[in-house]
Amino acid sequence: MTSVLFVCLGNICRSPLAEGVFRQTVEQTGHSDRVLIDSAGTGNWHRGNPPDPRSVSVAAANGIDISGLKARQVEKNDFDRFDLILAMDRDNLAFLRRMGAAEQTSRIRLFLQGPERDVPDPYYGGKDGFQNVYELVKRGCLDLLDDLKLA
């Protein structure tokens, strides 16, 4: 069993989309029983709220329902519960590394591994930003599947 936590700032735009896309990606391999997937935010402003309608919409356009998710903030015991904690950008990574200072840094890393390392915060932008997030997240999820040897 592997457990993966996706983390962004508000837990309403990027990380719930990553949670939904990765869940679908893993389901398509038939290995859902081998992976626990969740998401959280480093901030707490949106605690208890559903994902941003723009994330719900881009997910739905790709056959994924994330409307039932609820935002929560990262907590200390997440560092015990999850094997891998994946930050959507470098600011959130820095926050997680400070919070989990005693943890192995290899378990806390950026979600994207390629040259385009940050999934940009789409909150104050338009719809295009959410499509871009979806595309980055999709690619990152396929790479993650390879990394976890679930493909």
Nearest-approach distance from CB 149 to ligand 4NP, in angstroms: 28
11 binds ligand 4NP (CB under 6 A): yes
**Residues 29, 45, 105, 113: which binds ligand 4NP (CB under 6 A)?**
45
Q: Three-state SS for 111? A: coil
In 122-133, which positions are buried (b, 16+ CB within 10 angstroms) versus exposed (e)?
A: bbeeeeebbeeb
Q: Is 123 in the site for ligand 4NP (CB under 6 A)?
A: yes
Q: Is 13 a catalytic residue?
A: no
* Coil, strand or helix at 16: helix
Q: Which of 4, 5, 12, 26 binds ligand 4NP (CB under 6 A)?
A: 12
Taking residue 77's Cβ as centre, other Cβ atoms within 10 Å add up to 8
Q: Contact positions toward ligand 4NP, by CB under 6 A? A: 8-14, 41, 45, 121, 123
